[in-house]
Structure 1
Amino acid sequence: MLDLLHRRYAPLVVSLLSLVFTPERPTVPVADAHTEIGDALDQLRAQGYEFRDEGARAIPEGSARDLCRQWADVGWLIRRIAEDDVEVYQLSAHAVGALEVAGRAGGTRARVSESRVRTLLDAVEHLAQDADPDVLARMARLDGQIRRLQAELDRIQRTGLIEDVPDEVLLEEAENVLHLVRELPADFARVAESIKAMQRSVITGLRQDERPSQEVLREYLERAEHVSESTPEGRAFAGALRLLGDPERMDELSDHLDVVLRHRFTERLPAAQRGELRDIARRIARGVEEVNRTQRQASTVITTQVRNHDPLRDRQVDELLREVMTGLQTWVPDTRPGQEVTPLRRLPLPEVGNLRRTTNDLRPPQPPAPLTEWDDDALTPDDDSREWGGPHYAPLTEHLYSLAADDGADLAAVFASAPAEHRRPVDLLGLLEIADRHDLTETDEVAYVEAIRPDGTRRRFAFGGVTVRMKEDTDD
C-alpha cells in the first residue's frame, strides 16, 4: 500500500483505479479495463500531459495493457477467471487500502468528536466486560445498566418527550459511521487474499510430494473443509460473520439506516456520503459474498488437486511450462508488435528406433472342429434333464380327472396325492394352470403343500385354497 502511495505516478494510479473500480463494480473485465484506462490516458495526453513532464503533469509511458500488467506484477491488481469464464481484474487488499487512505485524505477529515470518543469508550468497556471473569462485578455492571435504562424509560413515560440531539452531533456520528464503513472493503479483501494465499501454499505442498500420500490427503482435505479457520484473518471473519449472518440484525440495520436517512440532518451531508450511508448493508453483503466465493473456489481447487494428484504428471506439466516460458523469452525480444506467427501446420513425426523385421505366420488359421450332431429324441433313460423342465401336463391332467371329475376336490389334496416325480414346484404351477381352465372355486383358507425337487430337496409352499371340478366335455 505504501509502495503505491509513494510512487511517482501515485496520483494518476489512484485516480484511474478509483475511476474504474467502484463499490458497485468490484471486478471489471480485462478488455473493459484496458479500454477505459486507455481512453483516460488519451484524454490526458490530449490535454498536454506527457511522460517527460515533472510533478503532477507526468503520466507513465506505455499502453493501458502495459500499465495493467505492471500493476498486476507489483500486486495492486489481481487477475482471475470469473464464474462466467470471463477474465477480470480485481483490486488487491493493498490497493483497496491505498484508495481508502486517499479517499479519507481527500474527503471529510476525521475529527476528535463526542461520537468517536464514545465509540472508543464503548469498545474499551465491552473489552473489559469480556475479559473480567468476576461474576459479582458483571452483575453489578448489569444492575447499573438496568437502573439507567429504567430511569430513562420512566422519564419518557412521565414526560412523553425525547431529548433532541443537535444536528451537529448527528453529523459527527454519521461521519464516524462512514469512517468505520470505509475500512470494511479492505478488511474483506485481506480475508479473501489470505484464503488465496493458503490455497497456493496447499497446492504447492501437494505438488512437491515430500510426504506420504495418505498424510497429505488427510491434512489437506481437512484444511480445505475448514479453509476459513486456517488463517488469522479467516478466524476473525468467521467471528464477524456470526453477527453479519444473522438476518434479524441485517433487517435491523436496514431499518436504522432508513430512520437516519429520513432525518433532516442528512440534507447537510454531501450526496456521496448519503449514498454511502444508503449502501452500507449492500456493501457488507457484497463483501461477505466475495469472501464466501473465494472460500468456495479455494475448496474446489484444493479438493480437485487432492483427488487428481499425480506427481509424475505434475512434473511433466511443470517441465512443459518451463519450456514454453523459455521459448517465449527467446522469441519475444526479436519480434515486433503485430508480427505474424508461423502456425504449426503438422505435428512432429515420432522418432522410431527400430521396426519389426519378422512377420507373423502367413498360413490361414485352421477352421474349428465341426459341431457334434445332437438328437433331441435320442435321450437315454438316465438323462434327468427332462426332470428339471416344465410341468408334466398329461399325467397331472389324468390324475386331476381321477379325483375331481364328479364332486370336485381340493387342489392341495390332489397335489399331495400325486406321485413323487409329479410333485415338483413347477408341477404345482402346472396343476393350477390346468384347474384354471375348468370349474375352479376359491376358498377363504390358506393351503400348504410340500414339493419335491428332482435332487430330493423339499420346498413348502402356501397359496389361497381352491377346489376344482373337472368338466366332462373339455378338450384338455
Structure 2
Amino acid sequence: MSGVPRDVARLTEAREGAALSLVRSRWAPLVLAVFRASFSQETKQVKAERLHVQVDTYLAELREHGHDVPAQEEGRALCLSWMRSQWLRRVPLDDGGEAYELTSHALAAMQMHDGLSRERALLSESRLTTILDAVHRWAVEADPDETTRVAALDAEIARLTAERDRLAGGGEVEVADDERMRGGYADLIDLLDQLPGDFRRVEEALDAIHDQMVRDFRADDRPKGEVLGEYLAASTHLASQTREGRAFQGALTVLGDEELLAAFRDDLRAIMTHPFARDLTQDERYGFVNADAVLRRGLRDVQLRQHRASQSLAEYLSGYNSLQERELTRTLRSLEQELAVWMETARARDTVPIPGMPARLDIDHVRTRFHDPEAHRPAPPLEDVSDQAPDAPTLDDVRRQGGPLLEEVRRGLDRAVADGAEGLAEAFNALPADLRRPVELYGLAYLASRGELDLDGGGGMVETIRADGSRRSFALPRIHPPAHHTGDGDDDA
C-alpha cells in the first residue's frame, strides 16, 4: 500500500492550519503589514488598547491611499477576529492588563512571505556546503565505531594542519568574493528568521501542557491530597514533555555558553566587514550584527514562560476545590446536553425566556442567620482622656492669629508719638511686640490710605515680630494721605 493516503491527510491538516490560512487569506498583505509595523524583535507584546488604536490608524491611512480594507471593521473587532484565527493571542500582564503577541502561525506566515519576496538563488554553493558539512558532522557522531571516529578526526586535523602550514609559509589568503558572501548571508538570514518562530512554538507548547494538566487535574476523581504532589512535581518539568521542549532543553547547552555566544557575535561583526555589506541597508546590518540578541531574548522569554506556567499551576492546584469544580462541570454539561436537544427543533430566532429573578416561594420566612451573642455585645466604653486635653485658646489668642488689630495699633502709635517718636517707622518700632506682627503693616497701609494717621508717612525700616518670636525687617514705603479727608475716616462724596 502506498503512502499517498497518509500524505494527503498530513498535507490537508497542514493546509487547514492557521499559518497557511493566513497566507491564503484575502487580507494577508494587510494583516502581515500591520503585524510587521506593530511587532518587532524588541516589541514582542503590545498592550491591547494600544494595538486597537494602531490598527484603526493603519486602516485610515490605507483608505487614504486607495487600498481595500475590511468594510465596517474597527481595530478591536479585527484583533478579536485575528485571535479566533490563531494569529494573535492575548496574555495577562503583571499590572492586571492584557497584551497581544504574535503566535507561531503568524510568524511562520511572515517568514513564508519574506522568503517569497526576497530575491535570492534557491541553490548556491553556501547552501550546499552547509548541508554537506552538517551531514558529515552528524554522520560522524552517529557512527559508534571508534576507528571511524578517530579516522575522521585525523582527516580533519590533517586538513587544518595543511592549511595552517600553507598560510604560515606565505600562501595567499583566499577571501570570498561578493557574490559568494551574498549567498552565505542569504542562507544565514533564512536560518536566523526561523528562530523567533521556533522560540514561540516552545512557549505555546508550554502553555498547552499547562492547560492540559489543569484539565486532567479537574477530571481526576482521586482525592486532592493524593494527586497534588504528583501534579506539582510534573509542573516543574513542563519543558521536557513535548518535542519542542526537549529540543529547547538540548539547545540550552549552546545558549548557556557565554564564550560561544561571544564568539558568535564577533563572527557576525566580521562578516559585516566584508565589502559586500556596503550594499545592505543600515537596518539589515544592524539586525544581522545583533542576531545574538534574538537568541538571548528567546531564551529569556521561554524560561520566563516556563517559570510562570509552573508557578500558576502550583497556585491553582494548591487552591483548587475539586468537589465544587466537578459539581459546576456536571451542571454545565447537563445544560449543554439540554441545549443540544432544544436546538434540534428550535428555529433561527427562537429564544428561551429566563426570568431575571427566581419565582417567589410559598414560605413565610426563611432564616438566613442565627443569633450570635458576640454580634450583640456592646462596644467597650471609650477611655476618658479629658485630662490630657490642651488648654483652650482665649479670644485674645485667636484674635492675634488673625488680621491686623487696627484700634490697638492706632492707639499704640499715638502713645509712641506722645513719647517723642518721629515718623511712622520709628513709632511702629516703639510698639509692644504683640502689635508688631507682619500683618499689622497691612493695617498701617489701610489707616494711612484713609488719612487716620497723624504721622509723617516717610519711608523707613521697621522690624516685625511674629507670634513665634522670630523677627523680620521690612522697608516701609512712603505713604501719602488722601487730599480730601473727613474726620470719621470716610472719603468725601
Q: 1:135 aligns with which of 143, 146, 154?
A: 146
The answer as to 2:162 corresponding to 1:151 is yes
Indicate conservation of the 8 Å contact 1:110/1:176, yes or no: no
Q: 2:217 aligns with which of 206, 209, 220?
A: 206
User: Which residues of 2 match residues 33-432 of structure 1 at below 5 A?
Assistant: 33-49=51-67, 57-159=68-170, 161-315=172-326, 353-354=366-367
Change (3 A) 1:317 1:30: farther
Partner of 2:24: 6
Question: SS of the counterpart of 1:78?
Answer: strand
The answer as to 2:60 corresponding to 1:16 is no
The answer as to 2:41 corresponding to 1:30 is no
Question: SS of the counterpart of 2:144?
Answer: coil
Higher relative CO (CA 8 A, sep ≥ 6), structure 1 or 2? 1
Work out the percentage of aligned pairs sharing the same amino acid.
Answer: 34
For residues 75-122 of structure 1, give each alpha carbon's deviation from its aligned partner in whole angstroms, at most 9, with x where no partner exists: 110101123433100001101111111122122335211110011111
Q: How far off is 1:188 after superposition? A: 0.6
Change (3 A) 1:45 1:142: same
Change (3 A) 1:194 1:355: closer
Question: SS of the counterpart of 2:101?
Answer: strand
Change (3 A) 1:97 1:312: same
Separation in structure 2 between the aligned mates of residue 73 and residue 25 of structure 1, nearest angstrom: 22
Indicate conservation of the 8 Å contact 2:39/2:45, yes or no: yes
Indicate conservation of the 8 Å contact 1:224/1:302, yes or no: yes
Separation in structure 1 between the aligned mates of residue 252 and residue 75 of structure 2, nearest angstrom: 38
Separation in structure 2 between the aligned mates of residue 249 and residue 351 of structure 1, nearest angstrom: 81
Partner of 1:416: none
Indicate conservation of the 8 Å contact 2:59/2:69, yes or no: no
Change (3 A) 1:8 1:287: same
Separation in structure 2 between the aligned mates of residue 63 and residue 355 of structure 1, nearest angstrom: 49
Q: How far off is 1:12 after superposition? A: 1.2
Q: How far off is 1:357 after superposition? A: 12
Q: Which amino acid aligns with 2:366?
A: G
Partner of 1:428: none
Q: How far off is 1:242 after superposition? A: 1.0
Indicate conservation of the 8 Å contact 1:9/1:60, yes or no: no
Separation in structure 2 between the aligned mates of residue 206 and residue 170 of structure 1, nearest angstrom: 54
Bigger drift between 100-109 and 73-82 goes to 100-109
Which ranges in structure 2 are unaligned for 5 or more consecutive residues?
Answer: 1-18, 337-348, 350-362, 374-493
Indicate conservation of the 8 Å contact 1:12/1:59, yes or no: no
Indicate conservation of the 8 Å contact 1:192/1:291, yes or no: yes
Indicate conservation of the 8 Å contact 1:77/1:92, yes or no: yes
Indicate conservation of the 8 Å contact 2:210/2:313, yes or no: yes
Separation in structure 2 between the aligned mates of residue 184 and residue 359 of structure 1, nearest angstrom: 65
User: Which residues of 2 match residues 448-467 of structure 1 at below 5 A?
Assistant: none
Q: How far off is 1:59 after superposition? A: 3.0
For residues 57-80 of structure 1, give each alpha carbon's deviation from its aligned partner in whole angstroms, at most 9, with x where no partner exists: 353531110000111112110101
Separation in structure 2 between the aligned mates of residue 317 and residue 18 of structure 1, nearest angstrom: 43
Q: TM-score, normalised by structure 2?
A: 0.62
Q: Which amino acid aligns with 1:126?
A: R
Indicate conservation of the 8 Å contact 1:223/1:230, yes or no: no
Q: Which amino acid aligns with 2:167?
A: I
Question: SS of the counterpart of 1:88?
Answer: strand
Indicate conservation of the 8 Å contact 2:111/2:193, yes or no: yes
Q: How far off is 1:319 after superposition? A: 8.9
